[in-house]
Chains A and B, each alone.
Chain A
Protein backbone atom coordinates (compact mmCIF):
# COMPACT_ATOMS: atom_id res chain seq x y z
CA UNK A 1 0.00 0.00 0.00
CA UNK A 2 1.22 3.53 0.64
CA UNK A 3 3.19 1.73 3.32
CA UNK A 4 4.31 -1.57 1.79
CA UNK A 5 5.92 -4.42 3.71
CA UNK A 6 6.56 -2.56 6.95
CA UNK A 7 8.95 -4.43 9.24
CA UNK A 8 8.16 -4.79 12.93
CA UNK A 9 11.47 -6.06 14.45
CA UNK A 10 9.47 -9.06 15.67
CA UNK A 11 11.11 -12.43 15.07
CA UNK A 12 7.78 -13.91 16.18
CA UNK A 13 4.78 -12.85 18.20
CA UNK A 14 5.08 -13.02 21.96
CA UNK A 15 2.51 -15.02 23.86
CA UNK A 16 0.75 -13.39 26.82
CA UNK A 17 2.90 -15.29 29.31
CA UNK A 18 6.12 -14.06 27.69
CA UNK A 19 5.05 -10.41 27.96
CA UNK A 20 6.11 -8.35 30.93
CA UNK A 21 3.26 -6.77 32.91
CA UNK A 22 3.50 -3.47 31.06
CA UNK A 23 3.41 -5.14 27.67
CA UNK A 24 0.47 -7.24 28.73
CA UNK A 25 -1.46 -4.22 30.00
CA UNK A 26 -0.66 -2.44 26.73
CA UNK A 27 -1.91 -5.36 24.62
CA UNK A 28 -5.06 -5.57 26.71
CA UNK A 29 -5.81 -1.91 26.10
CA UNK A 30 -5.40 -2.45 22.36
CA UNK A 31 -7.61 -5.54 22.44
CA UNK A 32 -10.25 -3.48 24.25
CA UNK A 33 -10.18 -0.98 21.39
CA UNK A 34 -8.56 1.83 23.35
CA UNK A 35 -6.46 4.42 21.55
CA UNK A 36 -2.81 4.85 22.46
CA UNK A 37 -1.73 8.50 22.80
CA UNK A 38 1.73 10.05 22.34
CA UNK A 39 3.04 10.32 25.89
CA UNK A 40 1.82 6.92 27.05
CA UNK A 41 4.11 3.97 27.55
CA UNK A 42 4.38 1.72 24.49
CA UNK A 43 6.66 -1.16 23.50
CA UNK A 44 9.70 0.06 21.60
CA UNK A 45 8.77 -2.20 18.67
CA UNK A 46 5.31 -0.62 18.42
CA UNK A 47 6.86 2.85 18.36
CA UNK A 48 9.48 2.00 15.77
CA UNK A 49 7.05 0.13 13.53
CA UNK A 50 4.63 3.05 13.62
CA UNK A 51 7.37 5.52 12.74
CA UNK A 52 8.30 3.35 9.75
CA UNK A 53 4.72 2.91 8.64
CA UNK A 54 3.54 6.49 9.12
CA UNK A 55 6.65 8.02 7.58
CA UNK A 56 6.49 5.67 4.59
CA UNK A 57 2.89 6.71 4.16
CA UNK A 58 3.87 10.40 4.43
CA UNK A 59 6.71 10.04 1.94
CA UNK A 60 4.28 8.39 -0.49
CA UNK A 61 1.87 11.32 -0.28
CA UNK A 62 4.72 13.77 -0.92
CA UNK A 63 6.41 11.87 -3.75
CA UNK A 64 2.93 11.08 -5.10
CA UNK A 65 2.54 14.74 -6.03
CA UNK A 66 5.24 14.43 -8.69
CA UNK A 67 3.60 12.21 -11.33
CA UNK A 68 0.43 14.31 -11.24
CA UNK A 69 2.28 17.60 -10.92
CA UNK A 70 3.78 16.69 -14.28
CA UNK A 71 0.40 17.52 -15.91
CA UNK A 72 -0.68 20.65 -14.07
CA UNK A 73 0.64 22.99 -16.73
CA UNK A 74 -0.74 20.79 -19.50
CA UNK A 75 -4.25 20.10 -18.22
CA UNK A 76 -6.72 20.39 -21.12
CA UNK A 77 -8.89 23.15 -19.62
CA UNK A 78 -8.56 25.80 -16.95
CA UNK A 79 -11.12 23.98 -14.83
CA UNK A 80 -9.24 20.67 -15.05
CA UNK A 81 -6.09 22.53 -14.14
CA UNK A 82 -7.67 24.09 -11.05
CA UNK A 83 -9.08 20.68 -10.01
CA UNK A 84 -5.73 18.93 -10.44
CA UNK A 85 -3.97 21.68 -8.55
CA UNK A 86 -6.41 21.27 -5.64
CA UNK A 87 -5.96 17.49 -5.72
CA UNK A 88 -2.18 17.71 -5.64
CA UNK A 89 -2.35 20.30 -2.87
CA UNK A 90 -4.47 17.84 -0.86
CA UNK A 91 -1.72 15.25 -1.24
CA UNK A 92 0.79 17.73 0.18
CA UNK A 93 -1.61 18.21 3.09
CA UNK A 94 -1.86 14.44 3.59
CA UNK A 95 1.90 14.21 3.77
CA UNK A 96 1.99 16.97 6.38
CA UNK A 97 -0.76 15.47 8.57
CA UNK A 98 1.18 12.22 8.56
CA UNK A 99 4.60 13.71 9.26
CA UNK A 100 3.18 15.49 12.28
CA UNK A 101 1.61 12.22 13.48
CA UNK A 102 5.03 10.55 13.15
CA UNK A 103 6.69 13.39 15.05
CA UNK A 104 4.50 12.68 18.09
CA UNK A 105 6.49 9.45 18.39
CA UNK A 106 9.69 11.37 19.02
CA UNK A 107 11.33 11.57 15.59
CA UNK A 108 12.16 14.94 14.03
CA UNK A 109 10.83 16.15 10.70
CA UNK A 110 14.32 16.74 9.36
CA UNK A 111 15.35 13.20 10.28
CA UNK A 112 12.36 11.89 8.31
CA UNK A 113 13.18 14.03 5.28
CA UNK A 114 16.75 12.89 5.50
CA UNK A 115 15.67 9.24 5.43
CA UNK A 116 13.65 9.92 2.28
CA UNK A 117 16.33 11.94 0.52
CA UNK A 118 19.11 9.52 1.33
CA UNK A 119 17.04 6.66 -0.11
CA UNK A 120 16.96 4.89 3.25
CA UNK A 121 13.19 5.22 3.65
CA UNK A 122 10.77 3.71 1.17
CA UNK A 123 7.68 5.16 -0.44
CA UNK A 124 4.97 3.41 -2.43
CA UNK A 125 6.16 1.60 -5.56
CA UNK A 126 3.31 3.10 -7.61
CA UNK A 127 4.85 6.57 -7.85
CA UNK A 128 7.84 5.29 -9.78
CA UNK A 129 5.83 4.93 -12.97
CA UNK A 130 5.63 7.73 -15.56
CA UNK A 131 2.53 9.77 -16.48
CA UNK A 132 2.70 9.76 -20.26
CA UNK A 133 -0.71 11.12 -21.27
CA UNK A 134 -3.62 13.04 -19.75
CA UNK A 135 -5.49 9.73 -19.43
CA UNK A 136 -2.85 8.71 -16.88
CA UNK A 137 -4.09 11.50 -14.60
CA UNK A 138 -7.58 10.02 -14.80
CA UNK A 139 -6.23 6.52 -14.20
CA UNK A 140 -4.25 7.63 -11.14
CA UNK A 141 -7.26 9.23 -9.47
CA UNK A 142 -9.48 6.26 -10.25
CA UNK A 143 -7.06 3.38 -9.56
CA UNK A 144 -4.27 4.71 -7.33
CA UNK A 145 -6.42 6.84 -5.07
CA UNK A 146 -9.04 4.08 -5.24
CA UNK A 147 -6.52 1.55 -3.95
CA UNK A 148 -5.33 4.03 -1.33
CA UNK A 149 -8.90 4.46 -0.07
CA UNK A 150 -9.26 0.67 0.35
CA UNK A 151 -6.29 0.71 2.68
CA UNK A 152 -6.90 4.02 4.45
CA UNK A 153 -10.52 3.52 5.45
CA UNK A 154 -9.75 0.70 7.92
CA UNK A 155 -6.70 2.64 9.18
CA UNK A 156 -9.08 5.23 10.64
CA UNK A 157 -9.64 2.62 13.37
CA UNK A 158 -5.94 2.08 14.01
CA UNK A 159 -4.77 1.93 17.63
CA UNK A 160 -2.49 4.97 17.57
CA UNK A 161 -4.58 8.11 18.14
CA UNK A 162 -2.67 10.68 16.05
CA UNK A 163 -2.39 8.28 13.08
CA UNK A 164 -6.08 7.35 13.25
CA UNK A 165 -7.08 11.02 13.39
CA UNK A 166 -4.85 11.89 10.43
CA UNK A 167 -6.52 9.07 8.50
CA UNK A 168 -9.97 10.48 9.26
CA UNK A 169 -8.98 13.82 7.73
CA UNK A 170 -7.38 12.11 4.75
CA UNK A 171 -10.33 9.84 4.04
CA UNK A 172 -12.68 12.82 3.96
CA UNK A 173 -10.65 14.23 1.08
CA UNK A 174 -9.91 11.08 -0.93
CA UNK A 175 -13.32 10.58 -2.42
CA UNK A 176 -12.91 13.81 -4.41
CA UNK A 177 -9.60 12.45 -5.74
CA UNK A 178 -11.05 9.24 -7.03
CA UNK A 179 -14.12 10.86 -8.54
CA UNK A 180 -12.20 13.58 -10.37
CA UNK A 181 -10.04 10.85 -11.93
CA UNK A 182 -13.00 8.74 -13.03
CA UNK A 183 -14.67 11.89 -14.38
CA UNK A 184 -11.64 12.57 -16.59
CA UNK A 185 -11.92 9.06 -18.03
CA UNK A 186 -15.69 9.26 -18.51
CA UNK A 187 -15.15 12.35 -20.67
CA UNK A 188 -12.33 10.78 -22.65
CA UNK A 189 -14.10 7.53 -23.49
CA UNK A 190 -16.88 9.59 -25.05
CA UNK A 191 -14.33 11.39 -27.19
CA UNK A 192 -12.51 10.39 -30.37
CA UNK A 193 -11.23 6.89 -31.08
CA UNK A 194 -7.74 8.12 -30.32
CA UNK A 195 -8.87 9.46 -26.93
CA UNK A 196 -10.59 6.22 -26.07
CA UNK A 197 -7.47 4.29 -27.03
CA UNK A 198 -5.48 6.55 -24.74
CA UNK A 199 -7.70 5.56 -21.82
CA UNK A 200 -7.31 1.85 -22.60
CA UNK A 201 -3.56 2.32 -22.80
CA UNK A 202 -3.53 4.05 -19.43
CA UNK A 203 -5.48 1.18 -17.86
CA UNK A 204 -3.12 -1.34 -19.47
CA UNK A 205 -0.13 0.36 -17.87
CA UNK A 206 -1.63 1.19 -14.43
CA UNK A 207 -3.65 -1.95 -13.69
CA UNK A 208 -0.87 -4.22 -12.50
CA UNK A 209 1.12 -1.57 -10.64
CA UNK A 210 -2.14 -0.69 -8.84
CA UNK A 211 -2.63 -4.30 -7.72
CA UNK A 212 0.98 -4.32 -6.55
CA UNK A 213 0.25 -1.38 -4.26
CA UNK A 214 -1.25 -3.81 -1.75
CA UNK A 215 2.07 -5.65 -1.54
CA UNK A 216 2.73 -9.38 -1.94
CA UNK A 217 0.58 -11.87 -0.05
CA UNK A 218 1.35 -11.49 3.66
CA UNK A 219 -0.68 -14.35 5.08
CA UNK A 220 2.52 -15.98 6.31
CA UNK A 221 4.28 -12.78 7.40
CA UNK A 222 5.22 -12.39 11.08
CA UNK A 223 5.42 -8.63 10.56
CA UNK A 224 1.85 -8.44 9.35
CA UNK A 225 0.64 -10.67 12.17
CA UNK A 226 2.40 -8.44 14.71
CA UNK A 227 0.99 -5.28 13.09
CA UNK A 228 -2.48 -6.80 13.19
CA UNK A 229 -2.10 -7.71 16.86
CA UNK A 230 -1.17 -4.08 17.49
CA UNK A 231 -4.08 -2.92 15.32
CA UNK A 232 -1.92 -0.80 13.08
CA UNK A 233 -2.97 -3.03 10.19
CA UNK A 234 -6.47 -4.42 9.93
CA UNK A 235 -6.70 -6.50 6.76
CA UNK A 236 -4.38 -8.81 4.88
CA UNK A 237 -2.92 -7.62 1.59
CA UNK A 238 -4.82 -10.26 -0.36
CA UNK A 239 -8.11 -9.33 1.27
CA UNK A 240 -7.73 -5.68 0.27
CA UNK A 241 -6.56 -6.57 -3.24
CA UNK A 242 -9.62 -8.78 -3.73
CA UNK A 243 -11.92 -5.98 -2.57
CA UNK A 244 -10.22 -3.57 -4.93
CA UNK A 245 -10.58 -5.86 -7.95
CA UNK A 246 -14.23 -6.58 -7.14
CA UNK A 247 -14.98 -2.89 -6.90
CA UNK A 248 -12.96 -1.78 -9.91
CA UNK A 249 -13.80 -4.30 -12.64
CA UNK A 250 -17.43 -3.14 -13.02
CA UNK A 251 -16.19 0.47 -13.16
CA UNK A 252 -13.85 -0.50 -16.01
CA UNK A 253 -16.75 -2.18 -17.78
CA UNK A 254 -18.86 0.93 -17.42
CA UNK A 255 -16.14 2.84 -19.26
CA UNK A 256 -16.11 0.16 -21.96
CA UNK A 257 -12.55 -0.84 -21.14
CA UNK A 258 -10.84 -4.22 -21.04
CA UNK A 259 -8.92 -5.12 -17.89
CA UNK A 260 -5.52 -6.42 -19.10
CA UNK A 261 -5.75 -9.76 -17.30
CA UNK A 262 -6.60 -12.92 -19.32
CA UNK A 263 -7.23 -14.80 -16.06
CA UNK A 264 -9.91 -12.43 -14.83
CA UNK A 265 -13.20 -14.30 -14.35
CA UNK A 266 -16.20 -13.96 -12.09
CA UNK A 267 -16.29 -16.67 -9.46
CA UNK A 268 -19.92 -17.16 -8.53
CA UNK A 269 -19.07 -19.35 -5.56
CA UNK A 270 -16.90 -16.85 -3.74
CA UNK A 271 -18.90 -13.88 -4.99
CA UNK A 272 -15.78 -12.20 -6.33
CA UNK A 273 -13.37 -12.22 -9.23
CA UNK A 274 -10.52 -14.64 -9.78
CA UNK A 275 -7.56 -12.83 -11.22
CA UNK A 276 -3.93 -13.27 -12.24
CA UNK A 277 -0.79 -12.76 -10.22
CA UNK A 278 1.06 -9.45 -10.62
CA UNK A 279 4.70 -9.69 -11.66
CA UNK A 280 6.33 -9.63 -8.23
CA UNK A 281 9.81 -9.48 -9.72
CA UNK A 282 8.90 -6.14 -11.19
CA UNK A 283 7.55 -5.05 -7.81
CA UNK A 284 10.75 -5.98 -5.98
CA UNK A 285 12.84 -4.24 -8.64
CA UNK A 286 10.82 -1.02 -8.23
CA UNK A 287 11.05 -1.24 -4.43
CA UNK A 288 14.81 -1.75 -4.75
CA UNK A 289 15.09 1.53 -6.65
CA UNK A 290 15.11 0.20 -10.21
CA UNK A 291 11.67 1.28 -11.42
CA UNK A 292 11.24 3.51 -14.47
CA UNK A 293 11.19 6.77 -12.46
CA UNK A 294 12.86 6.11 -9.08
CA UNK A 295 15.91 8.24 -9.85
CA UNK A 296 13.83 11.06 -11.29
CA UNK A 297 11.42 11.14 -8.31
CA UNK A 298 14.12 11.16 -5.66
CA UNK A 299 16.15 13.62 -7.67
CA UNK A 300 13.19 16.02 -7.82
CA UNK A 301 12.62 15.72 -4.06
CA UNK A 302 16.28 16.31 -3.26
CA UNK A 303 16.48 19.26 -5.58
CA UNK A 304 13.36 20.85 -4.10
CA UNK A 305 14.80 20.45 -0.61
CA UNK A 306 18.25 21.76 -1.50
CA UNK A 307 16.97 24.64 -3.62
CA UNK A 308 14.64 25.68 -0.79
CA UNK A 309 17.41 25.85 1.83
CA UNK A 310 18.18 29.57 1.31
CA UNK A 311 14.47 30.35 1.65
CA UNK A 312 14.04 28.36 4.88
CA UNK A 313 17.16 29.99 6.30
CA UNK A 314 15.98 33.44 5.22
CA UNK A 315 12.68 33.07 7.02
CA UNK A 316 14.44 31.77 10.13
CA UNK A 317 16.78 34.78 10.10
CA UNK A 318 13.82 37.13 9.66
CA UNK A 319 11.96 35.54 12.57
CA UNK A 320 15.04 35.80 14.81
CA UNK A 321 15.53 39.47 13.92
CA UNK A 322 11.89 40.27 14.59
CA UNK A 323 12.10 38.56 18.00
CA UNK A 324 15.25 40.50 18.87
CA UNK A 325 13.63 43.77 17.76
CA UNK A 326 10.61 43.13 19.95
CA UNK A 327 12.85 42.31 22.94
CA UNK A 328 14.77 45.58 22.43
CA UNK A 329 11.67 47.70 22.24
CA UNK A 330 10.20 46.07 25.36
CA UNK A 331 13.50 46.74 27.19
CA UNK A 332 13.44 50.39 26.08
CA UNK A 333 9.98 51.02 27.51
Chain B
Protein backbone atom coordinates (compact mmCIF):
# COMPACT_ATOMS: atom_id res chain seq x y z
CA UNK B 1 0.00 0.00 0.00
CA UNK B 2 1.51 3.31 -1.04
CA UNK B 3 2.01 6.09 1.46
CA UNK B 4 0.30 9.47 1.33
CA UNK B 5 2.11 12.39 -0.34
CA UNK B 6 3.09 15.10 2.14
CA UNK B 7 0.86 18.10 2.74
CA UNK B 8 1.92 21.56 1.51
CA UNK B 9 0.50 24.96 2.38
CA UNK B 10 0.02 27.25 -0.60
CA UNK B 11 0.54 31.02 -0.63
CA UNK B 12 -0.32 33.24 -3.58
CA UNK B 13 0.77 36.78 -4.35
CA UNK B 14 -2.41 38.17 -5.86
CA UNK B 15 -0.86 41.19 -7.57
CA UNK B 16 2.50 42.86 -7.84
CA UNK B 17 3.21 44.80 -4.69
CA UNK B 18 1.02 42.68 -2.39
CA UNK B 19 2.06 40.09 0.18
CA UNK B 20 1.68 36.39 -0.45
CA UNK B 21 -1.51 35.15 1.19
CA UNK B 22 -2.40 31.68 2.41
CA UNK B 23 -5.05 30.11 0.15
CA UNK B 24 -5.15 26.46 1.21
CA UNK B 25 -3.19 23.27 1.05
CA UNK B 26 -2.58 20.28 -1.19
CA UNK B 27 -0.68 17.01 -1.37
CA UNK B 28 2.37 16.58 -3.60
CA UNK B 29 5.50 14.42 -3.63
CA UNK B 30 7.92 17.37 -3.85
CA UNK B 31 8.11 21.15 -4.10
CA UNK B 32 8.12 21.25 -7.87
CA UNK B 33 4.96 19.14 -8.13
CA UNK B 34 3.40 21.15 -5.32
CA UNK B 35 3.81 24.30 -7.40
CA UNK B 36 2.42 22.57 -10.48
CA UNK B 37 -0.56 21.31 -8.53
CA UNK B 38 -1.08 24.73 -6.93
CA UNK B 39 -1.36 26.18 -10.41
CA UNK B 40 -4.18 23.76 -11.26
CA UNK B 41 -5.96 23.93 -7.92
CA UNK B 42 -5.61 27.54 -6.81
CA UNK B 43 -4.97 29.80 -9.81
CA UNK B 44 -7.33 28.69 -12.54
CA UNK B 45 -8.60 32.23 -13.00
CA UNK B 46 -5.60 34.47 -12.98
CA UNK B 47 -5.63 34.78 -9.20
CA UNK B 48 -1.96 35.58 -8.86
CA UNK B 49 1.51 36.38 -10.06
CA UNK B 50 3.59 34.18 -7.74
CA UNK B 51 3.21 30.95 -5.76
CA UNK B 52 4.96 29.84 -2.56
CA UNK B 53 4.63 26.32 -1.20
CA UNK B 54 5.79 25.23 2.26
CA UNK B 55 5.64 21.79 3.82
CA UNK B 56 2.87 21.96 6.43
CA UNK B 57 5.01 20.20 9.03
CA UNK B 58 7.62 22.96 8.69
CA UNK B 59 5.20 25.63 9.87
CA UNK B 60 5.39 26.49 13.54
CA UNK B 61 2.14 27.99 14.80
CA UNK B 62 1.09 29.65 18.02
CA UNK B 63 -1.64 27.85 19.88
CA UNK B 64 -4.92 29.50 20.84
CA UNK B 65 -3.98 29.15 24.55
CA UNK B 66 -1.01 31.45 23.98
CA UNK B 67 -3.31 34.29 22.95
CA UNK B 68 -2.78 36.10 26.25
CA UNK B 69 1.03 36.20 26.41
CA UNK B 70 1.25 36.94 22.68
CA UNK B 71 -1.31 39.64 22.17
CA UNK B 72 -2.20 41.18 25.50
CA UNK B 73 1.03 43.17 26.03
CA UNK B 74 0.22 45.33 23.04
CA UNK B 75 -3.26 46.11 24.38
CA UNK B 76 -1.71 47.90 27.34
CA UNK B 77 0.44 50.18 25.18
CA UNK B 78 -2.15 52.52 23.77
CA UNK B 79 0.46 55.27 23.39
CA UNK B 80 1.74 53.34 20.37
CA UNK B 81 -1.25 54.68 18.47
CA UNK B 82 -0.97 58.26 17.18
CA UNK B 83 -4.47 59.09 18.41
CA UNK B 84 -3.17 58.87 22.01
CA UNK B 85 -1.69 62.34 21.61
CA UNK B 86 -3.80 65.46 21.35
CA UNK B 87 -2.22 67.93 18.97
CA UNK B 88 -3.98 71.29 18.65
CA UNK B 89 -5.61 72.02 15.29
CA UNK B 90 -3.45 75.16 14.90
CA UNK B 91 -0.37 72.95 14.56
CA UNK B 92 -1.72 71.56 11.35
CA UNK B 93 -1.48 68.06 9.96
CA UNK B 94 0.91 65.77 11.83
Contact = CB atoms under 8 A, between A and B. Distances in A.
A86 B45 CA distance: 11
Given A93-B44, A318-B29, A108 B4 contact: yes
Interface bracket on A: 20 to 34
B49 interface: no
Given A100-B26, A103-B7, A316-B29, A93 B41 contact: yes
B26 A96 contact: yes
B5 interface: yes
The listed residue with most A CB atoms (<10 A of its CB), out of B4, B7, B24, B44, is B24
Interface string B56-72: 00000101100000000
The listed residue with most A CB atoms (<10 A of its CB), out of B7, B29, B40, B44, is B29
A318 B24 CA distance: 25
Interface string B19-33: 000011111011001
Contact of B40 (A89, A110, A318): A89
A40 B64 contact: yes
B30 A322 contact: yes
Contacts of B24: 97, 100-101, 165-166, 169
The listed residue with most A CB atoms (<10 A of its CB), out of B25, B33, B61, B63, is B25
Interface bracket on B: 20 to 34
A93 B40 contact: yes
A108 B42 CA distance: 21
B3 interface: yes
A30 B25 CA distance: 25
Contact of B5 (A39, A89, A101, A316): A316
B75 interface: no
B61 A39 contact: yes
B65 to A, nearest CB: 9
The listed residue with most B CB atoms (<10 A of its CB), out of A89, A101, A315, is A315
Contacts of A165: 24
- The 5 A-B pairs at the shortest CB distance, nearest first, are namely A319-B30, A315-B29, A319-B29, A100-B25, A313-B2
A172 to B, nearest CB: 8
A22 interface: no
A315 B64 CA distance: 36
Given A89-B40, A315-B29, A316-B29, 4 more contacts: A100-B24, A109-B7, A110-B4, A312-B29
Nearest to B33: A315
A109 B28 CA distance: 12
Interface in A298-319: 309, 312-313, 315-316, 318-319
The listed residue with most B CB atoms (<10 A of its CB), out of A96, A313, A323, is A96
Contact of A312 (B2, B25, B26, B45): B2
Given A319-B29, A319-B30, A39 B2 contact: no
A246 interface: no
27 contacts: A39-B63, A39-B64, A41-B64, A86-B44, A89-B44, A90-B44, A93-B40, A96-B26, A97-B41, A100-B26, A101-B24, A103-B7, A103-B25, A165-B24, A166-B24, A173-B44, A173-B45, A312-B2, A313-B2, A315-B29, A315-B33, A316-B2, A316-B3, A318-B29, A318-B30, A319-B33, A323-B30
A100 B4 CA distance: 14
